[in-house]
């Protein structure tokens, strides 16, 4: 009977595996978030460099071009300018100049003409050439007619000035200059500025002072005119603009990177949560499966223990039964001989009383021995069969479960022919299973001894009579010898070196106790067949 303990395998640490997997997922997601963020930053940094470079080039070109064209203009209109210089009150000349300027510089904001001392010939802007403009003019003259422009206010609005000397080359007679609205600059910024970024024109000589943005000049700005230190920190790229007092910088929106980080982190968190949830569910499933597996294993062990227990009981019972049968025969003969002797003495005339006494007590003692054997048999006897409905095919399948690996190992082919829809048999499932197992073991043993033919084990079940089921086990072993077939069921009969010779005797006892029959069939060719019947009647 197979009752070896299966190796107890340590149950897998699913929890630890899941935790490690989750940690790896978390690390991967963090890594990916960081990389995405770096890429985003790199992209916007590049964007800032491109925008600043493009816008700064354009603004430099604009200013340089204005300075160049104004010098040419002053040269061209020299006669007119000289006329105004000689006769400052000539409205006609002034109008002519204004018209010419309007034609060439339609966007100009104000027109001013001075002598070499910087005095204004004709006050423009209703005398609005203020202190800052004066400073500008003087610095222009003092610095040799080059000028770094900037935006400054006058009563009419913010503007920036572009100046050109007029008169003979190398000996200028004064300054001709035009004021322009800062919107010209703002337009360029607006066109080039990338979404999420602000291009700012800052005063190079006054830290953080904003001169113009894409929205316009200082007056239009809805916030302070200077950048906070925090904003200065945030600047991605900056460049000085030639011929001006300006730096062009790119300031990203305060939310730009923060939003990106939040979005990526949120995405990572969602993915992580999904992984964690799926992982937990799988873990739970695995735990449940593991639990079921352990339960099933336990059940198999219990079943094996039951079989082993019944096996021991049966062996004891069968040994007692066998002994009883063997001993009862001689005891019976002894008792009967004594009785016969007593009756013979009765017929004698001279009765030997002592001999009669001896015979009588010998008879009584043999009866007593019989009583002892009977008592012992009751004690170890198989008792009353527990009768329950059993599915005989299921019992066969259960028994096969024990020898499956042995069949594989010994290269024995199995041919199962189980009738479908069999009615339930009545009896003790464990005991019937033991009978089947016993027959299977005998069959395997028989085939193992004959190596010259293919090994084939055939098991069939059928409805053989009205209330009888028949199970047959056929093997392709050497078969049974007709001469010994009668003794194979005897208690203690065995062909094996280490067999006890109880298997078939026990099996027959069990089947007989169930009201069935177990017999060997010597007529089937090519091996041995054992049949047994069980009743489907409930009684």
Residues that bind another protein (CB under 8 A): 321, 324-326, 328-337, 339-340, 343-344, 347, 363, 366-367, 369-370, 374, 377, 486-487, 490, 512-513, 515
Residue 456 beta carbon to another protein: minimum distance, rounded to whole angstroms:
30
- CA-wise closest residue to 437 among 310, 524, 522: 310
- CA 449 vs. chain centroid, Å, equals 53
Residue 301 beta carbon to another protein: minimum distance, rounded to whole angstroms:
33
CB-wise, 414 or 513, nearer to another protein? 513
- CA R_g for the chain: 59
How far apart, in whole angstroms, are the C-alpha atoms of residue 514 and residue 428?
A: 8
Alpha helices in 117-220 (DSSP H): 131-142, 183-192
How far apart, in whole angstroms, are the C-alpha atoms of residue 251 and residue 237?
A: 8
Residue 391 beta carbon to another protein: minimum distance, rounded to whole angstroms:
23
Q: Please, which residues bridge with residue 201 across strands?
A: 212, 248
CB-wise, 326 or 406, nearer to another protein? 326
Residue 272, judged by CB atoms within 10 A of its CB (0-12, 13-18, 19+), counts as: middle
Total residues found in the chain within this entry: 539
Q: How many angstroms separate the Cα of 34 from the Cα of each of 20, 31, 172?
A: 21, 5, 62
Residue 203 host element (H or E): strand 197-203
Q: How many angstroms separate the Cα of 360 from the Cα of each of 163, 297, 334, 341, 346?
A: 162, 62, 11, 9, 12
Residue 479 beta carbon to another protein: minimum distance, rounded to whole angstroms:
19
CB-wise, 294 or 344, nearer to another protein? 344
CB-wise, 68 or 343, nearer to another protein? 343
- CA 85 vs. chain centroid, Å, equals 89
Residue 528 beta carbon to another protein: minimum distance, rounded to whole angstroms:
18
How far apart, in whole angstroms, are the C-alpha atoms of residue 443 and residue 457?
A: 7
CB-wise, 19 or 348, nearer to another protein? 348
Residue 466 beta carbon to another protein: minimum distance, rounded to whole angstroms:
17
Q: Hey, what are 116's tokens?
A: 């070499």
How far apart, in whole angstroms, are the C-alpha atoms of residue 161 and residue 176?
A: 10
CB-wise, 20 or 340, nearer to another protein? 340
Residue 297 beta carbon to another protein: minimum distance, rounded to whole angstroms:
38
Residue 151 host element (H or E): strand 151-154
Residue 492 beta carbon to another protein: minimum distance, rounded to whole angstroms:
14
Residue 325 beta carbon to another protein: minimum distance, rounded to whole angstroms:
4
CB-wise, 132 or 344, nearer to another protein? 344
CB-wise, 147 or 531, nearer to another protein? 531
Q: Hey, what are 271's tokens?
A: 């993915």
CB-wise, 331 or 396, nearer to another protein? 331
């Amino acid at each position: 009977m197979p009752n070896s303990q299966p190796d107890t395998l340590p149950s897998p640490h699913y929890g630890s595996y899941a935790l490690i997997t989750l940690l790896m997922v978390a690390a991967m997601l963090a890594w990916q978030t960081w990389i995405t963020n770096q890429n985003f930053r790199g992209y916007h940094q590049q964007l800032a460099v491109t925008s600043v470079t493009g816008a700064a080039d354009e603004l430099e070109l604009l200013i340089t071009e204005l300075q160049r064209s104004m010098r040419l203009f002053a040269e061209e209109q020299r006669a007119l300018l000289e006329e105004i210089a000689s006769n400052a009150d000539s409205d006609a000349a002034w109008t002519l100049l204004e018209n010419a300027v309007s034609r060439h510089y339609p966007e100009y904001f104000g027109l001013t003409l001075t002598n070499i001392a910087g005095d204004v010939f004709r006050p423009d802007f209703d005398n609005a050439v203020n202190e800052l403009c004066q400073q500008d003019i003087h610095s222009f003259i003092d610095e040799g007619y080059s000028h770094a422009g900037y935006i400054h206010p006058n009563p009419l609005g913010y503007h920036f000035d572009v100046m050109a000397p007029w008169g003979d080359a190398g000996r200028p007679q004064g300054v001709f200059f035009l004021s322009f609205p800062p919107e010209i600059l703002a337009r360029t910024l607006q066109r080039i500025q990338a979404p999420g970024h602000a291009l700012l024109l800052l005063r190079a000589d006054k830290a953080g002072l904003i001169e113009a943005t894409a929205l316009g000049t200082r007056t239009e700005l809805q916030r302070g005119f200077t950048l906070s230190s925090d904003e200065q920190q945030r600047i991605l790229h900056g460049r000085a603009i030639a011929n001006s007092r300006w730096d062009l910088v790119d300031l990203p929106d305060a939310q730009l990177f923060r939003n990106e980080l939040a979005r990526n982190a949120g995405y990572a968190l969602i993915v992580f949560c999904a992984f964690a949830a799926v992982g937990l569910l799988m873990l739970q499933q695995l735990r449940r499966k593991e639990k079921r597996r352990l339960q099933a294993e336990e059940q198999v062990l219990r079943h094996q223990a039951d079989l082993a227990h019944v096996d021991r009981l049966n062996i004891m019972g069968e040994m007692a039964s066998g002994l009883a049968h063997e001993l009862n025969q001689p005891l019976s003969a002894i008792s009967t001989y004594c009785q016969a002797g007593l009756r013979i003495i009765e017929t004698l005339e001279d009765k030997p009383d002592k001999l009669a006494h001896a015979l009588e007590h010998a008879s009584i003692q043999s009866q007593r021995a019989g009583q002892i054997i009977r008592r012992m048999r009751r004690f170890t006897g198989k008792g009353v069969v527990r009768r329950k409905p059993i599915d005989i095919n299921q019992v066969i399948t259960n028994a096969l479960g024990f020898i499956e690996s042995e069949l594989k190992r010994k290269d024995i082919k199995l041919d199962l022919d189980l009738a479908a829809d069999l009615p339930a048999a009545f009896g003790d499932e464990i005991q019937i299973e033991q009978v089947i197992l016993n027959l299977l073991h005998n069959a395997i043993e028989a085939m193992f001894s004959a190596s010259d033919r293919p090994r084939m084990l055939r098991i069939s079940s059928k409805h053989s009579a009205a209330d009888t089921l028949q199970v047959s086990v056929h093997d392709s072993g050497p078969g049974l010898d007709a001469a010994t077939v009668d003794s194979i069921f005897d208690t203690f009969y065995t062909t094996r070196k280490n067999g006890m010779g109880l298997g078939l005797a026990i099996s027959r006892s069990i089947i007989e106790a169930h009201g069935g029959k177990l017999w060997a069939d010597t007529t089937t060719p090519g091996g041995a067949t054992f049949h047994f019947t069980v009743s489907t009647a409930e009684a």
